[in-house]
Amino acid sequence: MDRMEDNLRYWLWVTMAFGAANPRKWKALSFYESPSKLYEAVSSNDMGNISSQDLKSVSSLKMDRVDELYELCQKRDIRIICPGDSEYPERLFEIYNPPSALFARGRLSQGLDSLILASAGTRKPSKYSVKVTARLVRELTLAGFVMSTGMAVGLDSVVIRAAIASGGEVVVPLPCGLDYDGYPREVSSKENRSAKELIAARGMIISEYLPNEGPSRLSFVARNRLLSGISVGALITQAGAGSGALSTASFAVSQGRDVFCIPPHMLYDSSYEGVSNLIRDGAIPVFGAEDVVNAYYSSYPHKLKRPEGGVVSRSERLRDSSVSKKPRKTAESENTPSKKEKKSVDLLGLSEEKRRIAELILENGSMLFDDLSNALGGELDLGGLLTELEIEGVVRMLPGNRYTVQS
């Protein structure tokens, strides 16, 4: 085993001995030069610098169990990233209680030191939040941002879908192990596996928890510190007064990250109360993607871009909205097919399952996710297949979880 693998081995021992997200490991490490020195001290029964809460687990963990985990990760195509590894992001050294190991699948083109923007929001978004979030994410990914979010239903899934459909990259930190398929609970294990495979193909999924470890109440909070920790800022899309998204905002503030908020749709709507309070306390209101881009343009000019069809300036948006929505008919427009006519779409090359989905949507013009699921009898991994169809440019998601075929 070379020096790098040996270093990784001892960091794995620290992670397993103390447990993921346990800040006491760093206090114990402060008394020694390295994880290997800590391991040697414990092996010599020198436990004077180990807290009473950790004595049992630290003293009982043998290196053969660490080697078993290492071999399991190799078989499961899971990379282990630890401090000292070139892939370990510099931003994590800036936060309280950085992970002693990260388990990862997939890769980012510029690694975890990319221009990452965290996004957090409610599981039950309004149509307004879905529409605005999807548009902002599209423009931000085209401008060079990598989006980071959770994997819950609601606005997390909107962010993932919009980023991937725009050709962007995503990184998703989990509150559980990479091989645990019971999160989120509202989605089947098969759909969770499919979603993770798609994310890994267009970015990364990461976790500080052992591969088969399930989530707990505390692991969600710990995940949120990681979500903001790998990012330059956090975008809070929609959050009530007790929303978990506010935990991400709180960590972002304590870590010195910027906090951005989408202004509420309705001033007195309680589902936006958390966002209103953040803006009142100094968060940056976002009226367009340029508000986020401009915050980092001087610091990251080499990573930002202003592509054609990407970020739309506020003046352009206002100008576009002033154009009449009912243009005068011309000879050419009179020969243009009606929107009610079925679109001509080449479905050759699609799998039988994907073709069934696309044909159903074509037949109806557009369809809600639930109606699609009912029509298909719930027999397919509909969420995963729709995401693949979005990536392939066959369908696109409309506000309200409705799908249409791309023209």
Over residues 1-53, the pLDDT tens digits come to 444 477 899 999 999 999 999 999 999 999 998 999 999 999 999 999 999 99
Q: Tell me the fold of 343-405.
A: Arc Repressor Mutant, subunit A (1.10.10)
If you average pLDDT over residues 373-382, what whole number do you get? 80
Answer yes or no: same fold for 111-316 and 343-405: no
With beta carbons less than 8 A apart as the criterion, state whether 177 and 151 touch.
no
Least confident of 56-60, 147-151, 285-289, 331-335: 331-335
Q: Domain residues of the chain, as ranges? A: 3-83, 111-316, 343-405
Helix (H, G, I), strand (E, B) or coil at 288: coil
Per-residue model confidence (pLDDT) at position 336: 38
Question: What pLDDT was estimated at residue 184?
Answer: 92
d(CA 162, CA 137): 6
The pLDDT value given to residue 311: 56
71: helix, strand or coil: helix
E strands, 51-202, are 79-81, 102-106, 116-120, 146-148, 170-173
CATH architecture, range 111-316: 3-Layer(aba) Sandwich (3.40)
Maximum pairwise Cα distance, the chain: 89
| Minimum mean pLDDT range among 123-127, 239-243, 315-319 | 315-319
DSSP H or E stretch at residue 247: helix 245-254
> Are 117 and 147 in contact, with CB atoms under 8 Å apart?
yes
Tokens coding 267: 């001033």
How far apart CA 107 and CA 199 sit, in angstroms, is 10
If phi over 0 gives left and psi between -120 and 50 gives alpha, with beta otherwise, what is residue 109?
alpha
Tens of pLDDT, residues 54-94: 999 999 999 999 999 999 999 999 999 999 999 999 999 99
Q: pTM for the full model?
A: 0.77
278 DSSP assignment: H
